[in-house]
Every structure is written in C-alpha cells, then in structure tokens.
Amino acid sequence: MNINNNANSGLSKADTSQIPVDYLEEIRNRLNQVHLSLRRLADQISHNRQINKSKIPNYSHIQNQLQVLLTQLHSISNNLDNNGNILKNSNVYPLPNFPTTQQEGLLTTLLRKKPLPEVEQWIQEAIDLGKSDCYSIEKEDELTRWIMAKVEELREEFQFYGFESIEELNYLETEEGQKEQEEKKTEEQKVKQEELRITDGGKQGLHPNTVLKFMYRGILT
C-alpha cells in the first residue's frame, strides 16, 4: 500500500522516524483479527442453524469466541488511545507512483476520514442507548449491590443448626415427640442387635482373596 503517514504535513521530505509504524501496523493486524473472529462467530451460529434448526452452538463455544473478541477489541482501543495524537495530526496521501486512476474506488475508501453514513447512524444509536435509563451500567451495578446487601440481610435473620425446623424441634420437646424419639432409638438398637447376631458379633468378613486361597489350596493362611 502506498500510503504514507506524515506527522508534519508541511515538510516536503517525509520524516518517518517519528511515526510509530509498528503500533499502527499492529492496529491494522488487530482489525483484521477482529474481522475474522466476528465472521467465525457469525458462521458458527448460522451454520448450525442450517443443519439443525433448533440447535445453537455450545454455550461455552460462544463464550470463548466472545472472550477472544473482547481481548482483541480491548487491545485495539488501547492502541488507538495511545496513538490518538499522531493519528489525529496525520495526513494521508497517495505517493505519485500509486495507480490513482485504476484504483479510484479503493483510494476514496482509504482516504476517507469520516465514517460512512450508516456507520454514523450505528454510532449514534449506541450513544442513545447508553444515555437511556434501561441500559445504564451504573444502575445495573447499583441493583446488584442492593440485591447482595438484601440477601446478606435476609440471611442474618436465620440461624442454621442441625436439620430440623423450629416446629420440628418444638414437637420433639413435647411428650409425644419424645416417645417417638424413644421408639426410633429402640428400633435402631434392634437393627444393630440383629446385625451383630448375624455377623457373629460384628466380625469382619474374609477377603475374597482369602476365600479364593481356601478354594484353591484348602488353607486360609
């Protein structure tokens, strides 16, 4: 591309040493990447839709793609911020050996300083949305904070011990409850007794290996 950034348009011989070419080049690369990521995301969604109408791509896939996109955008905006002055003060012009007549369409696009009308419209829409109340980030944060505080507050009103509710505990205090408790205990005791009787006093069973040895060689040890 035969486009030259010039920090000082007054000089006839361009002094390119002041221009952070690397950074500017990086912006271009990043933009390219964002373009690719966006297209991939769009492909993913539309492709899946064609094959199986009800199925959208995996949630984590979209999330990952979005994360990548966000990082790229972040790095671009950082780059733009850092080099804002240079970009603002730079004039861009084609060098004499650029094929101006053949590439007129491309040239007008490249030299464009203002956004396209539709892009301008998008920007305006975004700004309007940001201004309106329903999308205010601050308000949302505020709501989240309020919910957190409320939950904390509500939780402090309760105390959790054991597995019984207060009604159940109160019931246990009464005579009936105590009787029931007693019955439960004796029942448990009974089961335990039976268990002990069956296992000959809670003996541990022989390991299958030991039994196998007995079956193969007639001895236990």
Residue 109: closest CA among 89, 94, 128: 94
Q: Are 58 and 121 in contact (CB under 8 A)?
A: no
Decide whether 51 or 219 has the Cβ nearer to other proteins: 219
Q: How far is the CB of 187 from other proteins (least distance, A)?
A: 15
- Residues numbered 9 to 48 that lie near other proteins (CB under 8 A) are none
Decide whether 11 or 215 has the Cβ nearer to other proteins: 215
Q: How far is the CB of 188 from other proteins (least distance, A)?
A: 14
Q: Taking CB under 8 A as the rule, does residue 56 contact other proteins?
A: no
Q: How far is the CB of 200 from other proteins (least distance, A)?
A: 4
- Residues numbered 139 to 198 that lie near other proteins (CB under 8 A) are 195, 197-198
- Residues numbered 194 to 213 that lie near other proteins (CB under 8 A) are 195, 197-200, 203-213
Q: How far is the CB of 157 from other proteins (least distance, A)?
A: 40
Beta bridge partners of 6: 91
Residue 26: closest CA among 92, 74, 76, 86: 76
> 16 to each of 6, 9, 85, 146, how far by Cα in Å?
7, 11, 16, 55
Q: In whole angstroms, give the CA distance from residue 125 to residue 107.
A: 29
Q: In whole angstroms, give the CA distance from residue 107 to residue 92.
A: 11
Q: Taking CB under 8 A as the rule, does residue 221 contact other proteins?
A: no
Q: In whole angstroms, give the CA distance from residue 115 to residue 122.
A: 10
Q: Taking CB under 8 A as the rule, does residue 214 contact other proteins?
A: yes
Q: Taking CB under 8 A as the rule, does residue 217 contact other proteins?
A: yes
Binding site for other proteins (CB under 8 A): 195, 197-200, 203-220
